[in-house]
Structure 1
């Protein structure tokens, strides 16, 4: 069965329009969770003042800023960076797992009961968290070493959570299969991922442009919800692709 971008776009739009209330609810819930975790693990007051005052942006270089810190400040900055990464991974994992579980439930791939739905959601979280951790490291290394390979990795790795949800292999196997399938069908996967990347960039610029006229916390709250919705659309698009692929 031949897979086309047009068909995937139509299927994604249809599913999103039918489940838009649930997707918005999930996006808002994940945003609230992210805010709660941010409040729970607030950094040292001095580190907070550095971040708030945009010292990272105004410094000649990040290395220069770190070199001017004492041991305690470096330790607090490292701890804050690790916490931020963990919060990001936790939010991304819960959002991805929620959308995938929703699709599986509506596609009758999960038995029609709340218990089975909750079990499927919770059992998927640990492995998905580890998968997200691995893919984020791989993508960031690609971006640090060479920008183009980093962007390419961003395109060929997002299919791995979908593959993992079907239990077609472990973490490494899901990553390898994602890279193989995405590269083979890059003309189909690419537009979806690029939509996510450019959509996130455009919305971020749009919301930040209103930072001086609206409350910063409200802007960031709305920005996070919008980004979560766009990411949900990407998950739906990739899930539909894989469903068609394994049935063809």
Structure 2
């Protein structure tokens, strides 16, 4: 039986609709966790004042501002960037693990509603491996995007199945990434549109959330997490059919 995009979209929509409450709560929870970790690790009042001085004295453009910063200001900026990246990674991994655990739990036929905390807790044994594969994927894709956009998109598409293979087959990280690249290349027509749409949606969310206060930012990031959850469900359904 051939796999079509329309059947995948329909299956994804049905699962999302039946598990809507759990997925929405998980998206909000992981967004809130991301904000808390970012706040705990991010700048204090003195650091913000240091950066503010640099921004006020700078000419124009981000690179010009960074060049005009003192070593202390550059260190503060690096700390802020690292804290934001780490917080996003943790939130993304929790969402990824929770969604991938929710799918088999909800499909087991028990008839009970799965809570967001239970889904995330069920993924706990595989969270370190998921964190590692997420870091490797992020580094490789970001480096590819720095070279050219097309290689970055191709790498994002071919590596998209790595977390699903890691969770489903219980294999090592590198083995999961290799298997994902083979499958991703062979199923480019089914994976590429979904991944590209996800990239665009996440970029819009990131740009918009940077302009909003904390509460609104949490809600907007939760919407971005919902988009990520839909992509995870879509890719999980595809991999299940490919198996």
Q: TM-score, normalised by structure 1?
A: 0.84
> What is the aligned partner in structure 1 of residue 16 from structure 2?
16
Indicate conservation of the 8 Å contact 2:130/2:163, yes or no. Answer: yes
1:243 maps to 2:233: no
Pick from 125, 128, 141 the counterpart of residue 127 of structure 2. 125
Q: Distance in 2 between matches of 1:138 and 1:54?
A: 31
> What is the aligned partner in structure 1 of residue 37 from structure 2?
37
Q: How does 1:195-234 map to 2 (within 5 A)?
A: 195-201=197-203, 216-234=213-231
1:164 maps to 2:166: yes
Q: Distance in 1 between matches of 2:164 and 2:96?
A: 9
Q: Distance in 2 between matches of 1:15 and 1:166?
A: 18
> What is the aligned partner in structure 1 of residue 3 from structure 2?
3
- Cα distance change, pair 99–118 in 1 and its aligned pair in 2 (3 A): closer
Q: Distance in 1 between matches of 2:101 and 2:59?
A: 44
Q: Distance in 2 between matches of 1:17 and 1:236?
A: 12
Q: Distance in 2 between matches of 1:71 and 1:199?
A: 35
Indicate conservation of the 8 Å contact 1:93/1:129, yes or no. Answer: yes
Q: Residue 166 of structure 1 aligns to a residue in which SS?
A: helix
1:45 shift after superposition: 3.4
1:194 maps to 2:191: no
Indicate conservation of the 8 Å contact 1:27/1:225, yes or no. Answer: yes
Q: TM-score, normalised by structure 2?
A: 0.85
> What is the aligned partner in structure 2 of residue 150 from structure 1?
152
1:196 shift after superposition: 1.4
- Cα distance change, pair 46–143 in 1 and its aligned pair in 2 (3 A): farther
- Cα distance change, pair 201–72 in 1 and its aligned pair in 2 (3 A): closer
Q: Distance in 1 between matches of 2:193 and 2:148?
A: 22
> What is the aligned partner in structure 2 of residue 183 from structure 1?
185
Most deviating of 225-234 and 74-83: 74-83
Q: Distance in 1 between matches of 2:51 and 2:228?
A: 27
1:79 shift after superposition: 2.1
- Cα distance change, pair 78–176 in 1 and its aligned pair in 2 (3 A): same
Q: Distance in 2 between matches of 1:221 and 1:103?
A: 25
> What is the aligned partner in structure 1 of residue 143 from structure 2?
141
The alignment yields a C-alpha RMSD, in angstroms, of: 3.0
Q: Per-residue displacement from partner, 1:155-186 (whole Å, max 9, x unpaired)? A: 22121100100135211111111111111110
Q: Distance in 1 between matches of 2:205 and 2:73?
A: 33
Q: Distance in 1 between matches of 2:68 and 2:155?
A: 34
Gaps of 5+ in 2: none
Aligned residues: 238
Indicate conservation of the 8 Å contact 1:44/1:76, yes or no. Answer: no
Q: Distance in 2 between matches of 1:24 and 1:13?
A: 14
